[in-house]
Chain A
Amino acid sequence: QVQLVESGGGLVKPGGSLRLSCAASGFTFSDYYVTWIRQAPGKGLEWVSYISGSGMNIYYADSVRGRFTISRDNAKNSLYLQMNSLRAEDTAVYYCARVFRSGIDYYYMDVWGKGTTVTVSS
């Protein structure tokens, strides 16, 4: 079935780095934009970054631009998020999600992973 599975979360010190992965299955990965969305403990959803199917179109939220790098390997059906210079405020559950396009240009996240937890603390 269509599935996304995140991995790579953990405890890291402020200023440290972490690389998240998201393994896709059950669909043609290269046909879809995919995105990272995070949720700090007890807080709402924050959209972090997306990448187009080809990897040519990338966007970041201001809060992570310059520190995080999104990438994908379509041959491995995998999405990545390299997180550098981590701060306490990056502590969150990180979800990867598939972006579905309906009609001309209505986009929404229709498949989500279960999330991986990143904790930034000394």
Chain B
Amino acid sequence: DIQMTQSPSSLSASVGDRVTITCRASQSISSYLNWYQQKPGKAPKVLIYAASSLQSGVPSRFSGSGSGTDFTLTLSSLQPEDFATYYCQQSITTPYTFGQGTKLEIK
């Protein structure tokens, strides 16, 4: 199975900050990488697919980059509603494994 490792596991930031979350795959996954946001008690929501494509309706302050084994999710200017847990997920091969999550908290 492909292992997905996110860093950091948790992060404190302030409204207006620029934040970057990293996801590393245990082998090359080309651009088959998705990012999800999950708020407490809610289902996940897709933000980015194919490493850098913004899902319809998602604010443009979210962006994704990378290919191969290293990927990043960037939030350009944090808003109060962005404090949540973020997961990466590979979709190149089954099982479609997720990273362990990055919890973004208010400083």
Contacts and interface: CB of A to CB of B under 8 A. Distances in A.
Interface of A: 35, 44-47, 50, 59, 61-62, 95, 97, 102-103, 106-110, 112-115
Contact of A45 (B46, B50, B98): B98
A59 B96 CA distance: 10
Interface of B: 1, 31-32, 34, 36, 38, 42-46, 49-50, 53, 55, 87, 89, 91, 94-101
A102 B96 contact: no
A95 B49 contact: no
A98 B58 CA distance: 18
Chief secondary structure at chain B's binding surface: loop
Nearest to B49: A108
Contact of B97 (A47, A50, A97): A47
B95 A44 contact: no
Contact of B44 (A45, A102, A107): A45
Nearest to A93: B43
